[in-house]
Amino acid sequence: MLDFPRWKVWLVWITLIVCVAYSIPSFFPKEQVARWPAFAQARFNLGLDLAGGSHILLEAETTDVAKQRLEQMVETVRTEMRRNQPRIDIGDISLQGGQVSFMVRDTSQVDAAVERLRAQTQGAGMTGQRDWDVSVVDSTRIVLKPTQAGLVRAVDDALAVARDVVARRIDPDGTKEVTVIRQGSNRIVVQVPGLEDPEALKTLLGKTAKLEFKLVDLNADPAAVAQGRAPVGSEVLRMADGTGAIAVKRQAIISGDQLVDATQGYDQRDNTPVVNIRFDGQGSRRFARVTQENTGKPFAIILDNQVLSAPNINEPILGGQAQISGGFTVESANQLAVQLRSGKLPVALKVVQESTVGPDLGADSIQKGIIAGIVATLAVILFMVITYMRFGVYTTLALIVNAFMILGIMAIFNATLTLPGIAGFVLTIGAAVDANVLINERIREEQRRGRGTLQAVEFGYKEASRAIFDANITNVISAAIMFTFGSGPVRGFAVVLAIGIITSVFTGVTFTRLLVADYLKRNRPKEIVI
């Protein structure tokens, strides 16, 4: 246990030096650190309760949900009439008056069509309420009218998904301690610490990021398109750059739901920023089939009902990968990639309230947190030095290094320190010496049994390490559960606690063992006072 190979000694010191070095930029003003080299700018952030930040209240456009339900029902009708046998022949589907209607060509198949649709429109839950009312008009026309209960349920589901999408867009790594919670039936509260200008945040959240690929309707009359009219089965969409409009087929070739990745890149031809996207297996196969069948024809890349570009399909696209171009800058391409990776918003969100919280509110908390940390540290140091003498000094060194390691690791991951995080930090300082108390007491016990100095120290570390690792594994599991199921302040506490547990075991066991082994090797004492 006390034999340290040279590579292990170097590994321990390099780990300590790297973590301490990463903690240093956080103690300097942000403006000063910005002038340092890029690798030296890592620092942890302060939460909204400590450093202020942006508070935004978003409201869902529920009319969008109603419109999307109508469009989805059109696809459901087409699918259900064609998928099962016997196949039911229907006429054009109408979307007038906030309801879906169509005519069944064979009157003998009307009842079968109604039964199929009622099976698909049964609402969820114990009430048995339907999401749609299905009725027959004039013996051959079927009308589907959305119910209020179905709309309320759809809005609730859309808000639940929107909350998750917003959280992923702002904090894809889950380390910034943003708060994203629902308020009422159609609102979402967003709090982002350290962000004093909400404009960039509003831009990020303002787009639904609904990505679609549709074929261009080559039969559309350009004059009619200019007036906003398109043939049956098509629609007119504006170009994103404002150069005009084109007619595209209503049915999408593929949608953003089938994306598995989106990254910012550069066009190999002219080095302009683009967004590279990759589809899942089903999306790849569908994209390959459609591009094979429509080689030489144009298709439109559509984002939030605006056409980014409409290139020709020069050859079949078989690899499940595509490129989105549209006059992007590096920043806007990165932003779009984040939006696409996080998923589309199922409902448009508008900002109804915004405010900026200044850092003054957290100044007192920071001051008191620092005082609490200093008092706790000094009290622990005094106790350990008086109780364990030289070994108490080693514990003190481990405690100081542990504090810097926690801050350094938080800086590496760009994590956020909140007020509950400070509580976790102070708690970690007190708990960090547990390992050394167990080790030192075990060494004392081995001495009382009559073991020599080296044997007592070696058995002390060996036997105590088992209990230390077992106890701290359970603590890490607890922190992981809090991080997984908690949010906001609970996550902040869990992050600092988990980091503190890991670093305290490293410094309390490995680092102090290295110091003790070096002392015994250099001085060869016949007995130790502990």
Q: List, for residues 464-503, the tens digit of each pLDDT value.
A: 888 888 888 988 898 899 888 876 667 778 888 889 889 9
Q: How far apart are CA 214 and CA 253, in angstroms?
A: 5
Q: How confident is the model at residue 125 (pLDDT cuts 50, 70, 90)?
A: very low
What is the arithmetic mean of pLDDT over 42-59?
78
Q: How far apart are CA 45 and CA 170, in angstroms?
A: 15
Q: How confident is the model at residue 145 (pLDDT cuts 50, 70, 90)?
A: very high
What is the pLDDT at residue 102?
A: 92
Lowest-pLDDT range, 209-218, 317-326, 459-468? 317-326
Query: Is the pLDDT reported for residue 126 higher than 50?
Result: no
Name the DSSP class of 298: B
Mean confidence (pLDDT) of the chain: 83
| Contact indicator for 294, 348 with CB cutoff of 8 Å | no
**Percentage of residues of the chain with pLDDT beyond 90:** 13
- In degrees and rounded to multiples of 5, residue 490 shows phi and psi of -65, -40
Count Cβ atoms within 10 A of the Cβ of residue 275 and give its class: 0-12 exposed, 13-18 middle, 19 or more buried.
buried
What is the pLDDT at residue 487?
A: 66
Strands 234-239 and 254-255: unpaired
Query: Is the pLDDT reported for residue 153 higher than 90?
Result: no
| Contact indicator for 224, 230 with CB cutoff of 8 Å | yes
Query: Is the pLDDT reported for residue 524 higher than 90?
Result: no
What does the angle CA 321 – CA 322 – CA 326 come to, to the nearest 5 degrees? Answer: 160
